[in-house]
Amino acid sequence: MFGVKTKIINRLKKNFYNINFNSLTSSVKRKTLALLVKSELERELQYVDIQQPIAKKTNHFASYILKKTTDYMPNNLGNWSIKKPGTLSGKLELTIIETLKKQYNCNKEIVGHFGSGTTEGNIYAAWIGRNYLSKKLKSKNFDKLILIKSSLSHYSLDKASDIIGIKNFEVSIDQTKFNLDLAEFELIINKLYKRGYRGFLVPLTLGYTVTGTDDDYLAIIKIVEKFKKEKKDCEFFIWLDAAFTGISKIFDQKKFEPFKNKQIQLLSTDLHKFLAVPYPASVLLYRKNLLKHVAKPIPYIDQLDSTLLGSRSGNMVIASWFTLINLNHQKMRKLINESLKEKENYLDKIVKEKIKVTIINNKNSLQACLISHNKKADEILSKKYGLSSIEYPLLIKNKTQVTKIYKLYFFTTLR
């Protein structure tokens, strides 16, 4: 029998990516194939290092509940912020939203729903923002609307801009803080206003994918409020792309209140990054009055849908809920501190190398990055530390500079 199994395993290994699924009639073959898939994922896991943006393995809590519920396929269709849910996963989605609202110190005006990730969040925000601005400006002419982003912004904003049919404009980043340049932003909105633009979609980032830095959203809002006082015929729609740090900020800041400022309309954050819930798992929070700009009826379930995807995974909602109820501030604070200490120790080693690199280190972020300035630095980072670089185009003082960047992530492992 052992010889037969060995032959099956060897044949499946040889043709792993070209298996004829019609031939899998034997339970032995199916079980063997399942083991091979698992072993391949385990092999990939060995190559995960500090340059990987997210975990490749589900957190312990999510893994446990998913094993218990793997035979079921709950579908979340609709928006439970509008109508009370009747299913388990719908009720748990609402529970997650209410839990995070408390953590973000939100009032009843803020509602939300579960999504697939911040790419969806950016597209959703741009869609709502376009309709919101069009209504505010009493114009169906989208030519007066424009999306403003930095060169560090997530590429999904280009998708969003394309999908909603709005042009986008790139603003320089601050060369010292590596976030949206405040002076350039003020200059650009004045220039765009003179060109005839009256509606501005402004996505701001908390935890840039490459650098881990945050946009100074409070300072940007001050610029916007000053601008709106001077120019009475313009409107802004501002949201926060907080994919990487939207959850960690709950635990590492005494009071994170993004919606306290009325200019912030929406926040999107991912649970499959910091919390290692399996894809797709994210949360979008926003002001309830925005729903009228996108809500569509679903006649066959007597429900309004104001989401982008419509049907969404109930399993990931359950996994996210189970993860969140097993956490507390003290535990998370301890794990975050461990990660931050690991980051500082790692960066200290880089400093001691005395090589020509710029270290971008947002003190409260579990991310960091290195910018190399010569071949010697590249050689040490590559050979001694096993790091790989990316060539990244940064717009600085209106000139694009291709910069060699080494991304670093120090994400907490939940246990």
The DSSP line for 47-94 is T--TT-SS-SS--HHHHHHHHHHTT---EE-S-TTTS---SHHHHHHH
Is 59 inside a domain boundary?
A: no
Instruction: Fill in the DSSP letter of residue 411.
Output: P
251 and 280, same domain (yes or no):
yes
The SS3 call for residue 10 is: helix
294 and 339, same domain (yes or no):
no
Residue 290 is predicted with a pLDDT of 95
Report the amino acid identity of residue 261: N
251 and 310, same domain (yes or no):
yes
Query: Average pLDDT of 107-136?
Result: 94
Q: Interior CA angle at 172 toward 347 and 373, to 5°?
A: 40
* 310-328 per-residue burial string, b: 16 or more CB within 10 A, e: under 16: eebbbbbbbbbbbbbeebe
pLDDT above 60: residue 12: no
152 and 116, same domain (yes or no):
yes
Q: What mean pLDDT is reported for the chain?
A: 88
pLDDT digits (tens, 9 = 90+) for 274-296: 888 888 899 999 999 999 999 88
20 and 122, same domain (yes or no):
no
pLDDT band at 300 (very low <50, low <70, confident <90, very high): confident
- What is the C-alpha to C-alpha distance for residues 345 and 341, in angstroms, rounded to an integer? 6
pLDDT digits (tens, 9 = 90+) for 166-223: 999 999 999 899 999 999 999 999 999 999 999 999 999 999 999 999 999 999 999 9
Number of domains in the chain: 3
Residue 1 is predicted with a pLDDT of 40
Is 57 inside a domain boundary?
A: no
Residue 232, Cα to own-chain centre: how many angstroms? 34
Is 355 inside a domain boundary?
A: yes
- What is the C-alpha to C-alpha distance for residues 66 and 89, in angstroms, rounded to an integer? 13
Give the CATH number of the domain where residue 243 resides.
3.40.640.10
Is 310 inside a domain boundary?
A: yes
Is 37 inside a domain boundary?
A: yes
Is 302 inside a domain boundary?
A: yes
pLDDT digits (tens, 9 = 90+) for 324-380: 988 888 888 888 888 899 999 999 999 999 999 999 998 888 999 999 999 999 999
315 and 338, same domain (yes or no):
no
148 and 202, same domain (yes or no):
yes
Query: Average pLDDT of 122-137?
Result: 96
Is 403 inside a domain boundary?
A: yes
pLDDT band at 308 (very low <50, low <70, confident <90, very high): confident
pLDDT digits (tens, 9 = 90+) for 393-407: 989 888 898 999 999
Is 184 inside a domain boundary?
A: yes
Tell me which residue range forms the domain holding 33. Answer: 2-47
Is the full-model pTM beyond 0.75? yes
Residue 344, Cα to own-chain centre: how many angstroms? 24
Question: What percentage of residues in the chain have a pLDDT greater than 70?
Answer: 90
157 and 35, same domain (yes or no):
no
* 111-128 per-residue burial string, b: 16 or more CB within 10 A, e: under 16: bbbbbbbbbbbbbbbbbb
Work out the angle between the directed axes of helices 314-325 and 88-103 (0-180°, nearest 10).
50
Residue 2 is predicted with a pLDDT of 44
pLDDT above 80: residue 79: no
Query: Average pLDDT of 288-313?
Result: 85
